[in-house]
Structure 1
Amino acid sequence: MRLVIARCSVDYDGRLTAHLPSALRLLIVKADGSVLVHSDGGSYKPLNWMSPPCRLTEHPAAGDEPGKWTVTNKAGETLTITITETVSDTSVDLGIDPGLVKDGVEAHLQELLAEQLHLLGDGWRLIRREYPTPIGPVDIMCRDDSGAHVAIEMKRHAGIDAVEQLTRYLELLNRDPLLSPVQGVLAAQTIKLQARTLAEDRGIRCVVLDYDAMRGIVREGTLF
């Protein structure tokens, strides 16, 4: 991972345009190719970013011309970072991440859905739980009734981060000609409206799971 603290302005040109005026910011370049622009506020969310696969081209400062990073993704969208001052520039090898250890409910949801794939459609077949990829395991990999591969991301409560995570998995899996095309399903007990909107815009199916029903628990007051 590369961490750069620099005074910079940022321009995004893609499905829309956005501009961040010059300020001191943290630039992160991850091993998977993603580039993120952070401020010292706004919690964990970057001000702007480019998800992999993308290409970073650096143009060093020359004379009165500032340095410039141009980040381009496969859709032709660009993130242009103009750097007028670099405070620090460090790189650290973080090694292989062991992945997120899921809590009991989320892990149990994954186990139950793997056993009840009929909830997603008739004829669906399990390939593997915790399907390995270089950027972490996919919760469930399966085939639908047509034989197409489907990657399922499980959450108790799904937000935009879950959509971004599944998007990264899908971009990587679809590079493999033995798997492509791979569709995505975001399955959770609750899915935030913003996450559903983003997922559906990216062709990801959203499924809300009833944990009690999957465990065979009949709620009081229900007839069936």
Structure 2
Amino acid sequence: MRLVVAKCSVDYEGRLRAHLPLATRLIMVKADGSVLIHSDGGSYKPLNWMNSPLTLREAAPDEDAAALGATSSWIVSSTKTDDKLTINFQSIEHDSAHELGTDPGLIKDGVEADLQRLLAEQIELLGDGHKLIRREYMTAIGPVDILARDGSGATVAVELKRRGDIDGVEQLTRYLELLNRDPLLRPVSGVFAAQQIKPQARTLAEDRGIRCLTLDYDAMRGVDDSAGRLF
């Protein structure tokens, strides 16, 4: 990766025209050829960028840019479209290259698969007397995350989400309609379980007779003693 901190202006030509006036910015050139232009704000999102495949050519500035004080330019052109990015440099404060190597990618913790596994292992979180039938119980419209039986022996279908919204409630409703057609399973009640449940989703679920359960992921994996917390 090449990192350049420079006082520059930037012009984009393509689907539209865009101009970044003269200011100090960070230009990143990644190993795949992508070029990103960042300011010292605006969170992670670049001000402008071009994805590979493209070409980068260093050149002398044109007359207009030179008249405004530019000493050098980068012409970044897409090899697939007519998109072009012109970076006119007035001064360069830093220019370095770094070999980062192959990135292993993001390893997510607390995804739905983790919640499903932990809830299956701690099925009593659904209530006393609950027993696991199976995870990923397949139906004609997709797998139910967890199928269990409550203390009375009735079937319970559980839909798991990290953040529970209305779409998740609708998904569980479809599963319940299908499962309740099976004489070996009915009556089947539903539990909508998530780390966070939006108020609208909770209202819809309760209106349809679906129980909501908020899961404490850290407590479930044993890294947080929720009973010992003051707040």
Look up the match of 1:170. 176
Determine the C-alpha separation between the residues in 2 that align with 1:173 and 1:128: 14
Q: Which amino acid aligns with 2:119?
A: L
Q: Which amino acid aligns with 2:172?
A: L
Q: TM-score scaled to structure 1, two decimals? A: 0.52
Look up the match of 1:194. 200
Contact kept? 2:110, 2:217, Cα under 8 Å: no
Determine the C-alpha separation between the residues in 1 that align with 2:225 and 2:137: 34
Look up the match of 1:48. none
Say whether 1:121 aligns with 2:134: no
Alignment of 1:25-36 (within 5 A): none
Look up the match of 2:219. 213
Measured after TM superposition, the shift of residue 218 of structure 1 is 2.2
Alignment of 1:102-181 (within 5 A): 105-181=111-187
Alignment of 1:31-110 (within 5 A): 105-110=111-116
Give structure 1 stretches of 5+ with no counterpart. Answer: 1-101
Determine the C-alpha separation between the residues in 2 that align with 1:126 and 1:219: 25
Q: TM-score scaled to structure 2, two decimals? A: 0.50
Determine the C-alpha separation between the residues in 2 that align with 1:222 and 1:171: 40
SS at match of 1:156: strand
Q: Detail structure 1 runs of 4+ shifted over 4 Å in the superposition.
A: none
Q: Deviation digits for residues 116-171 of structure 1, max 9, x if unmatched?
A: 11111111100000000000000000000000000000000010000000000000
The aligned length equals 123
Q: Which amino acid aligns with 1:117?
A: I
Measured after TM superposition, the shift of residue 104 of structure 1 is 5.6
SS at match of 1:137: strand
Rg comparison, structure with higher value: 2
Structure 1 residues 104, 222: closer, same or farther in 2, change over 3 A?
closer
Determine the C-alpha separation between the residues in 1 that align with 2:154 and 2:109: 30
Measured after TM superposition, the shift of residue 222 of structure 1 is 2.8
Determine the C-alpha separation between the residues in 2 that align with 1:120 and 1:129: 14
CA RMSD of aligned residues (A): 2.1
